[in-house]
A and B are shown apart, each in its own frame.
Chain A
Amino acid sequence: MADELRFDGRVAIVTGAGNGLGRSHALLFAKRGAKVVVNDLGGAHTGGGRSSAAADAVVAEIRAGGGEAVANYDSVEDGAAIVQSALDAFGRVDIVVNNAGILRDVSFAKMSPEDWDLIYRVHVLGAYRVTAAAWPHLRDQKYGRVIFTSSAAGIYGNFGQANYAMAKLGLVGFSNTLAIEGKKANVLVNTIAPIAGSRMTETVLPKELLENLKPEFVSPLVAWLAHESNSETGGLFEVGGGFMGKLRWERSKGATFRLGRAWGPEQVRERWGEVTGFDAAEHPASINESMAPIMANVEAGPSKGGNEFIDVDLALGYEFPKFETHYDERDLALYALGVGAGRKPLDPTDLSYLYELGESFQALPTYAVVPVVNGILDAGRKGERGPGMNFGLDRILHGEQYTELLRPLPTKQTLTHRTRVKAIYDKGKGAVVINETKSYDEDGDLLAINEVSTFVRGAGGWGGDRGPSVELNVPPQRAPDAVIEERTGEDQALLYRLSGDWNPLHADPGFAGAFGYAKPILHGLCSFGFSGRHVLEAFCGGDGRRFKSIKVRFADTVFPGETLVTEMWKESDTRVVFRTKVKERDKVVISNAAVEFYTEVPSKQPKAKPAAASAPAAASAPAKVTSAAVFEAIGGYLAAHPEIAAKVATVYLFKLTNPASSWTLDLKLNKVGAGETAKPECTLELTDADFMAMTEGKANAMKLFTSGALKIAGNVMASQKLDFLTKVDRKAVESAAAAAPAKAPEAAPAAGAASSPAKAPAIFEALAAKFAAHPALAGEWGVLAQFDVASPEGHWVVDGTVTPATVTAGRNAAATSRLALSDDDLASLAAGTGDARKMFQHGALRVDGDVSVAHRLHLLKK
């Protein structure tokens, strides 16, 4: 056989090898080239007596076949002596087969302490002693194969073998751990549970069966497990009569009781099927796998509660799959008709929501809720539910609605919506689920936020968080500042439903009847649209572009044809509280409601502009010091430090302007001189003044790059190695200047006055005035921010957490955003020429903490 599994050069110890299985293993190893230590105490199979005859006979048989073997007559309890035999005879040990064993079968009732101890000592202690003695040799040589002999009696139990079963399963655990510990040293450890005819089984099994259970049917598995090409470790195998197979643990999927929920023996009984059912079984193969479900439950933490309708643990925080919707001018106009616009078709305001060719065509801001609610209804119709939310649309009522726009809705757009379960409250009989949806425009920028608060009938009562109970947006006692009354059409619900809410409750008289209504009812969101339109009409001349948000509570039902009366109270320039009643029944149908406005029409962050030209670095070179002097000093410095040229090894050409001059720094030849070289590797073009500032460390390459003041051709990477320019001793420069003033070209007048006064104080003063005049800007700024302005230094605190926002000089440790930038850059932001994003990317604007405030630096503009 070409690929015969050989054991040439390997040394094997087989314990209990005088008869039966051990003898068969030993003969097979020897036949395949292994040197074998044949260990046998020569005792009876019940443990008494000793003799060298059994081992000697096997050794003789091996040698007769041309193999190598030595006999050993020690008890396995003297394991070290057995291993020493291998080392003495062959100088090493590679394979250990723990096979020796005896029986003391007796029912447990009659078992003596000696029966128990003897079995333990031979099987467990013996296997331990032999393996422990061999282990350091196996580990050191990074090679070893160990086989333990277990038994079905241990795995499954067997009458009359309590002692033997204990020992045999003990060996399995022993082997499993050695497999883990030996793996890295290439010591592989396996266990077999054999059945074979031998002295130990001849009293147990019928004779005909014994003849077909030859030990020779077990040894091939032992040889394979012991072979160097085998990689199995930690395995347990049943083998005999020509069959062999591997065993593994199986565990039911089991039952998990969330921590913090009450459960006891009754719940265990209830879920006994899950505990014991093997339908979705797992096969843990390590302690980690064993622990996985336990750890998963512990780490999941205490339960937040729930019941058959809502499992708060699963539902809260769940993010629904994102979805896309599209709308255009037609959808906006249809919606506007649905919420009552167009009754006055000649009125410019009504027309601005309806006529897409008109100059002032705009979206009604309340339209922002439509795609979101349609998405929820679509999911409901398809039966899609988030995890832990086991209720249908039939059980829910739209309780409250909050819609916020970050800027006016475009007149057509594809929106991407991301929804998550923001809060779940237990209101006793019912529950409240608040889904927050963020809608993003085609550029991926956040455009709208909707919070849909639904009341789930009958789903409360688990003793969970009841949620906030403060009554918001309560109208003041005084008479409303504005009232608009408008009758809805008899066909209003039929018109509104074309914007997407298909619920038959709003169209089908029979269906409405089944729910106890005299006729189909008007959509809550339709009244919502009417009311929103009324507020815009009363306070914005119908212009929806300054709309920021609307919040309402749906208090009662409206029927098509009823008259809506919206009563409004102006709380501030940016906030109107309102409520809506049905005139005919004098019932409040929308309560606790408010609309907020922006003080000016918000717009999107401008896209990146080309790099703003920041002020060129000031060059305040001392009089008479010229670039010529600097280059001369550089030449001297490089000559004194030849290791720099060796390391940099690049030819640079500096082309200075204003006044113009050219200089070659050849760091391959380590020469510095005036004039151009034919083959520069890196050409740098900049003003004389900027060059001087660079060598003085007053301007860095980055800043010059940014502003476009430095242009690099050729190997851009080489510009990184110019830091030696700043290391030139200024005294050398000055002495070079003093020594050769005539050679030097005239230094350019310093560009930009180094002593220009700080611009920051005026900017912050203007900002303070702006905030005082427009209290609503506090909300827009929103945070407590500290500005650290440099060159010249100054510190300001801009606090948008109070209304109106304040601006004070100094620092505030509680600031949640800290912005650091130069006075010049601050000025360019205030002038509207600087781009904050670009500055941030360049590192010219640094932000610690909340970065988002940097998106609002346009507020610095006058």
Chain B
Amino acid sequence: MGRRVNVIGVGMVKFQKPGASEEYNVMASKAARDALADAGVAYEDVEQAYAGYVYGDSTCGQRAVYEVGLTGIPVFNVNNNCSTGSSALMLARQAVEGGLAECVLVVGFEQMEKGALQAKWNDRTNPLDKHVGVMNDAQGVNQAPFAAQMFGGAGREYRWRYGTKKETFGRISWKARQHANRNPYALFGDTLTLDEIMAAPEVFDPLTRYQCCPPTCGAAAAVLCSDDYAKRKGIANPVYIAGQAMATDFASSFSDSMMKMVGYDMSRAAADKVYAQSGLGPKDVQVVELHDCFTANELITYEALGLCGEGEAEKFIEAGDNSFGGRYVVNPSGGLLSKGHPLGATGLAQCTELVWQLRGQCDKRQVPDARVALQHNLGLGGACVVTMYRRD
């Protein structure tokens, strides 16, 4: 196995709605500077940089880090749909783990447009065409936003199988708002009642508007380094990566199940690998940031990650086992639903939150006694990255 990789610095900007944010290069360079300052590392020490974003012309990554420094280092631009941020993180980890670099910077950012996600390139094969085909076969296609149809369809499949109440999905949004209310970086700081969530306009049964993550602008960054480097810098007891794995689609994604089409098996496979790598299981985890692009995905992901047994998500939610005082705190940051979902930044914002949690820096939303943290970042198309963090 390779070397241990430490996350010694993290930073992010407050997430904003489209139109209200600064430009991507400003947001990204701020996040990068914060992460460097947090690590106590000068940009001159950074040997490589990985930049994740989905929307924008080529080499936005360079444009962003050039505002922090011009030292001629390699800069890689990473694009992997909604799991872009953690894909960049994984490449950076590999560089350090494999001994190719001592200290690397990862930055993720996104300057999104208003409205639901749409395809940008209509003159060529859409990379999601096979996924849409599965949906077309399973439930047809209508005018609702595609992502909502896909994840909402997974929710329908789950409801049919386990008899889940619609309100159970709404409770996830309720919890997300409660958490985001304590996170100054979140887009939606206001709490909502379950009634308000359920009474909101329906986007795609069973999802109401408040159960869909909003288009968001933002940036987040992390500094990764080797043990040797951390030691040289006198950094004691840093957060480190105890396991990390990516899974892409299996044949099962293209069978007849909406849950599998949206990545249930990818999530489970990546999580299983991480548990095997780290020698730790779900029971060892105290805090989780998972990919709640829609409430339905959070619900099925509880089971994919093994936080609860199959068919037990409703009980898990009703018992409050996804929040403070329960078995786990899931998405203390407010998650994608309430903190917001700037595609390229999300993976690193999750990382930032978990590093803060493990260091005990999360103030009102601090998870007590957080020692092991789990991150789940999923992109349709598809890629799922699961990462386990630990602090001794």
Which residue numbers of A lie inside 8 Å of B, CB to CB? Answer: 3, 142-143, 183-184, 186, 224, 228-232, 285-286, 288-289, 291-292, 295, 299, 319, 418, 608, 649-650, 681, 700-703, 705-706, 712, 715-720, 723, 837, 840-843, 846-852, 854
Contacts and interface: CB of A to CB of B under 8 A. Distances in A.
A712 B165 CA distance: 34
Interface of B: 8, 37-41, 119, 122-123, 126, 128-129, 132-133, 136, 138-143, 146, 153, 156-157, 159-160, 163-166, 204-205, 232-236, 256, 258, 309, 325, 360-361, 366-369
A840 B156 contact: yes
A852 B163 contact: yes
B69 to A, nearest CB: 16
A368 B39 CA distance: 61
Given A3-B232, A291-B368, A700 B325 contact: no
A431 to B, nearest CB: 25
B102 to A, nearest CB: 13
A288 B359 CA distance: 12
Contact of B139 (A718, A720, A843, A849): A843
* A143, A184, A837, most chain B CB atoms within 10 A: A184
Contacts of A229: 40-41, 233-234
Contacts of A702: 139-143
A681 B122 contact: yes
Contacts of B204: 843
B46 to A, nearest CB: 14
A650 to B, nearest CB: 6
Given A289-B360, A289-B369, A841-B138, A717 B126 contact: yes
A491 B73 CA distance: 86
5 contacts: A289-B368, A291-B368, A717-B146, A842-B140, A843-B205
A194 to B, nearest CB: 19
Return the 9 tightest CB-CB contacts between A and B, nearest first.
A702-B142, A705-B140, A852-B163, A702-B140, A706-B140, A292-B368, A286-B360, A851-B163, A299-B325
A231 to B, nearest CB: 5
A768 B215 CA distance: 50
B205 A846 contact: yes
B309 to A, nearest CB: 8
B235 A231 contact: yes
B140 A230 contact: no
A841 B139 contact: yes
Contacts of A849: 165-166
Given A142-B37, A232-B234, A705-B136, A837 B160 contact: yes
A228 B40 contact: yes
Given A716-B136, A850-B163, A231 B361 contact: no
Contacts of A840: 156, 159-160
Given A288-B369, A650-B122, A717-B128, A842 B234 contact: no
Contacts of B119: 717
Contacts of A142: 37
Nearest to B238: A231
A703 B369 CA distance: 52
Nearest to B45: A229
B139 A706 contact: yes
A295 B140 contact: no
A715 B122 contact: yes
Q: Which of A608, A841, A842, A847 has the most CB of B within 10 A?
A: A841
Contact of B141 (A143, A288, A418, A705): A705
B328 to A, nearest CB: 14
A700 B143 CA distance: 9
B146 A295 contact: no
A285 B234 contact: no
Nearest to A605: B160
A14 B297 CA distance: 56
A288 B361 CA distance: 10
B141 A719 contact: yes
B143 A231 contact: no
Contacts of A231: 8, 39-40, 233-236
A356 B37 CA distance: 76
A716 B141 contact: yes
A849 B314 CA distance: 13
A720 B156 contact: no
